[in-house]
Structure 1
């Protein structure tokens, strides 16, 4: 009966009947989007870095139209940046839930006379929340890894297939790509990363809520 009273108050915090649960939405509506915007994609997709990665990964027979390995390396490198915001979102939800547990125990009148039970209940709740956090992290990172392991092929099929006229087939990779080509590659990768970012902005909160709340 005492635990049911605590559970009822805790759920009221989560459902909006009591204050505090709305902070979880703040993680998804404010913290996560802000973190995604701060990721250093400009540096990753700088002309110098794009030239370096395409040149190093395109092999002995570089494909002038779509340097597949170069694209893949650039995208995989960019997608790794999403791991930080994913973990941070899960951690932020975890700390909010711990605080709500603490508040709920304090607000449960039936528990006032049982300090030992309060401590045991808090310890059990924190232990469960830690398990949920680990599940949330694994699931969120798996979403990022899924994006990295299988690129959306259709996106690249729709890329403009343009070849620079007058190129020398015998030239090196660096020579065969003009600055315009590298800028176009950076732009294409940036568009793809933007698409993935929007996907993760929606799926990471779902993973956190499913695993933790």
Structure 2
């Protein structure tokens, strides 16, 4: 019997008496969101001018980017955690967030003088961004890795990487409420690096803790 077939058989046997994996993912997502919210509120909280910022396009766009990433990653990781499940459609949706960010960056470059590009890219909070997105996301990442262990991913490193992206998207959604840098240039650069840190940690976690 091939390894993949054995994993599927063991997974099917475990599912006969255990909580459905789909339910485990929704519970895990809820727990991860609560953890991220608690860390966010205790560590930094929302920006002081959020009541007015929420009416600006650039501020709202940050949440569109991060939530699109989180939703698409959630769909993909659910598929990856189930042996034999199709992943191609969910994987295709992972390109949605990068395309949205790329389009926003293009519009930014067209509408802002070239002399301002560097200032908008660097922003004023890049160190805070690189610190707090991973900090907010590390707890959710642990939750997602635990749910992956409950499942039966046949590609644990890939699944762990996607878990990190999911945790990063969730963490970035909360962090965006604090961040004063609303430029798509800033988001495309520093949010991406911060999420990549969690993706790398997720890949390591998948290799160490999710393998059968």
TM-score by length of 2: 0.29
> Which has the greater radius of gyration?
1
Q: TM-score, normalised by structure 1?
A: 0.29
